Amino acid sequence: MKNRLEEMRNQMGWTQQELADQVEVSRQTIISLESGRYNPSILLAFRLARLFQVKIEDIFIYSEEEQHE
């Protein structure tokens, strides 16, 4: 799933490790999320959205085609 995580993290001036510490996941998870290789659980998506004070849809871009991948 495409997302704006890297862009939003850079806007906040955080490193991947700093973001990982704040949402209590590993740095590798942030790397995988940013590259779109891993889709987060709904809980992690909410934690990220709350941290950036935006809606989940503002971070993660869902498209119908991805549903069957």
Instruction: Give least dist CB 43 to another protein, A.
Output: 8
Exposed, middle or buried, 29 (CB in 10 Å: 0-12/13-18/19+)?
A: middle
Residue 44 as a binder of another protein (CB under 8 A): the answer is yes
* Residue 40 in the binding site for another protein (CB under 8 A): yes
Among 37, 53, 67, 68, binds another protein (CB under 8 A): 37
- Residue 51: CB partners within 8 Å, gap ≥ 6? 19, 22, 23
14 binds another protein (CB under 8 A): no
Q: Is 69 in the site for another protein (CB under 8 A)?
A: no
DSSP annotation of 60 reads E
Q: Is 11 in the site for another protein (CB under 8 A)?
A: no
